[in-house]
Amino acid sequence: MTRNVKRFLAVSLLSLAPSIAAAEQFDFGYFDLGYNGLVGPVKTETIEVPARHEEGGASFLANPVQVFGIGNWTGVNTFPIYSLSGITLDVPPPNPLLPVLNPGLSGIFQLTVAPATSVSQTYLYTNNTLDPAGNAKTCRWQVVVNYNATTATCSAVVNQTAFGTQGVLCGIDTTRTFINPTTCNLQVVTNLT
């Protein structure tokens, strides 16, 4: 009986391998805050991403590019945890993210996504990857792009949350953050202090 169960499990797990391999081609990174139940979010807010048309004649049928800039103004190195989806991860999130002076950017990352689709990207930077929700300075951003098939336009929001007992301020630079509603190209500039 045990031998038959082992054989059944082995065949079942092998049949999942193609599905898992296909999923890994489109998901970049791993996201887990590792909640210990001790510390919850300090502050969460949602910011609507301003719409801005870009110069030039970019086609809506092209694959949209999402560019993320991050300023680390904490004075200490921070490290990424992320769950990003798209066609390609053109430039991965910087690791570590070195501190710079305000209003500088410490680094950028970029990915290409499929056209005419809604997509969500989640990333955080923390100075303690072993306990990002506890003894840490942690900022998490979730960027949600919504595609409206009726109007063939995109809009986006950023949900930002501060975690940790060391105190941190999470921010978004709305003057440098925008989405092109017709091409769905996106640029988001965030910071942690």
Per-residue pLDDT of the chain (193 residues; tens, 9 = 90+): 455 544 444 443 333 333 333 333 344 544 455 444 434 455 689 999 999 987 665 556 689 999 999 999 999 999 999 999 999 999 999 999 999 999 999 999 999 999 999 999 999 999 999 999 999 999 999 999 999 999 999 999 999 999 999 999 999 999 999 999 999 999 999 999 9
What b/e sequence results for 11-31 when a residue is b if at least 16 CB atoms lie within 10 Å of its CB, and e otherwise?
A: eeeeeeeeeeeeeeeeebbee
Residue 177 lies in a domain: yes
Residue 14 lies in a domain: no
Residue 97 lies inside a defined structural domain of this protein: yes
Does 44 reside within a domain?
A: yes
19 part of a folded domain = no
**pLDDT given at position 54:** 72
Number of independent structural domains in the chain? 1
State which residues form the domain around 137: 27-192
Q: What is the DSSP string of 97-110?
A: B----TT---EEEE
Residue 5 lies in a domain: no
Q: Is 61 exposed, middle or buried (0-12, 13-18, 19+ CB in 10 A)?
A: exposed
Indicate whether 129 belongs to any domain: yes
Helices (H), the chain: 2-24
Q: Rounding to the nearest 10 degrees, give the CA dihedral for residues 100, 93, 78, 48.
A: 80
Q: Give residue 53's pLDDT.
A: 84
Asked if residue 8 belongs to a domain, the reply is no
- The pLDDT assigned to 26 comes to 44
**What pTM value is reported for the model?**
0.79
